[in-house]
Amino acid sequence: MSFIECRNLTRVYHRGDNTITPLDGLDLDIQRGEFLALMGPSGSGKTTLLNLIAAIDKPTSGSLHVDGVDIAAMNRSQLARWRCENIGYIFQLYNLIPVLTAYENVELPLLLLPISRAERHKRVASALQLVGIAERHEHYPRQLSGGQEQRVAIARAIVANPRIIVADEPTGDLDKSSAHEILSLLRRLCEELHSTMIMVTHDPHAAEYATRTLHLEKGRLVESAAAAVAQS
């Protein structure tokens, strides 16, 4: 069995008299430690798939197994706990809390875990060091550049040692140079932490940093290609 296994995965939304099906009978296998890029036009189902894998949403039908566990069958309470223990989420617009320092933003996910203050400090310091932003730990988001904010967001995503990191357009708000730095960092973290990385992007250059690229259209996989690893 693959690390992540989707079978006949379907998500349907009802808006008034309209029925919207962003995912329609999708089958997908993702291996442990893989860096996967998901591409496709707006409305193709990329973010919907990301949110299902991240246990933020539940499928209408089909199965979704992660390491043999059917997360589609979990209730809300079980999903919240599983998500906390297994998922790190990186957003396009960082989603940092403006009144908290970089350190405090990274610490947030750990407050949900039964660990000591000393252990929290150790993990936060390690995550900030790993993404190269440790010297800015007392700065607030408004005092950071976009690339630095995203590094803090990445540190927050990895601080609880998640098995899966999902990233929704992580470089969509960055300039070319900052985007290269962030994508190189994500690729390195995937290799060093042995996490499975799933990234949604519209940018084919961003997808080149992944080890595999999948294309979605109207909720279905339409093309699969191995991505060339970008040169540093």
Q: What is the CATH number of domain 4-225?
A: 3.40.50.300
Could you state, in order of their start, the residue ranges of all structural domains in the chain? 4-225
Identify the pLDDT of residue 231.
38
pLDDT digits (tens, 9 = 90+) for 101-143: 999 999 999 998 899 999 999 999 999 999 999 999 999 999 9
Has residue 228 got a pLDDT over 50?
Answer: no
How far apart are the C-alpha atoms of 115 and 104, rounded to whole Å? Answer: 16
Percent of the chain exceeding pLDDT 90 equals 81
The model's pLDDT over 190-221, given as tens digits with 9 standing for 90+, comes to 999 999 999 999 999 999 999 999 999 988 99
Give the pLDDT confidence score for residue 223 in this predicted structure. 61
CA distance 218 to 29: 19
The mean per-residue pLDDT over the stretch 8-31 comes to: 93
- Rounded Cα distance, 27 and 80, in Å: 24
3-state helix, strand, coil in the chain (%, to 5): 40, 30, 35
Residue 197's H or E segment, with its range, is strand 196-200
